[in-house]
Amino acid sequence: MTTQSQDRVAMLASMLLIRAYEERAIALRAAGSFPGICSSLGQEAAAVGVVGALTSDDKILTNHRSAGHLLARGADAGRMMAESMGRSTGYCKGRSGFLHISAAELGVVLTSTIVGGELSLATGVALAKQMRNEPGLVACFFGDGAACEGIFHESLNLAAVWQLPVLYVCENNQWQAYVHRTETMLGDPITEWARGYGMRSKAVDGNDVEAVRAATLEAVACIRDSGKPYLLELNTYRQRGHLEPDVPPVSPERERWMLTDPIARMEQRMLHAGEIDAAGLAELRQQADAAIDAAIAFASDSPFPDPAELTADVYAD
């Protein structure tokens, strides 16, 4: 198997793991045994393509649709499930829940449910790196809804003026909570807004994992060479409603986007190239399902936090 084929298999396996994780979380939520979640189903290529192009020196700040980013970074699915279920074995000892997971050992600084909240903090994290002369850059994930917030413009302006090593990643999934993006923003694409600050930017097919990976590698190289920020706009589609168990809207737009599902596209590409067959695809799916089965079992068997630790990690000693 060629290196390219191995890379494709690895990217597909990662996307399948993310899909399996979210599908099981959605099913658990529907059964009433899981908290409300904001799914990123359909956006797997964006997570895998970007995160796979980063190094261990790079920091990540993400938003309320963070499961894909965490798993692509190598997060343990069991600890993520445990955190979502409020168990002590979770990444934040059961205190953050599904929507606020951070994993310092993976360089994931935070998950913010405040729309655009990670944008304000990414500038500070990048400034700290610059002042300490630390290697690496800061990757900040946000949606098209956050791009309508004032903090988006403040963050980009400061990063451009101070020449900070920030990779801004806009996952433009066409929907802002319950409102379509065309109802809240004039002009397309968002990359033009970044260029207004003298920042390099590029719009990419966010449902093509290889296109995302190539564009991210190019952007990352530019940031490392210049020390200046860069914005990627990944055009993708949110296949579920805003908050589970919301029913996703049915429309001709959704039907068109479903034809470009990132996993199905990658599978067809690999089948056509003879890099995998139906049995190989089935095996990858079985491996992903088995990993999530184990994750749920681990989380379900984990204890809840001791009430005596209620204020632990809340107040400084």
Pairing of strands 179-180, 175-176: antiparallel
pLDDT at 184: 85
**Is the pLDDT confidence value at 158 over 90?**
yes
**Is the pLDDT confidence value at 249 over 80?**
no
Tokens of 257: 């986007």
Provide φ and ψ at 168, rounded to 5°: -85, 125
Q: What are the Cα distances from residue 40, in Å, to 25, 50, 175?
A: 11, 15, 12
Confirm if 306 and 88 have CB atoms less than 8 A apart.
Answer: yes
pLDDT at 316: 78
Domains and CATH numbers, the chain: 3-298 (3.40.50.970)
| Angstrom distance (rounded) from CA 28 to CA 34 | 5
What is the band of 147 on the pLDDT scale with cuts at 50, 70, 90?
very high
pLDDT at 215: 98
**Is the pLDDT confidence value at 273 over 80?**
yes
Query: Three-class SS of residue 4?
Result: helix
For the segment 286-313, the average pLDDT, to the nearest whole number, is 94
pLDDT tens digits, residue range 121-137? 999 999 999 999 999 99
pLDDT at 129: 97
The residue ranges of DSSP E strands in the chain, in sequence order, are: 59-62, 108-111, 138-143, 166-172, 175-176, 179-180, 200-205, 230-235
Average pLDDT, the chain: 94
Confirm if 110 and 103 have CB atoms less than 8 A apart.
Answer: no
Q: Which residue has the higher pLDDT, 248 or 21?
A: 21
Single pTM value for the model: 0.95
| Angstrom distance (rounded) from CA 58 to CA 81 | 25
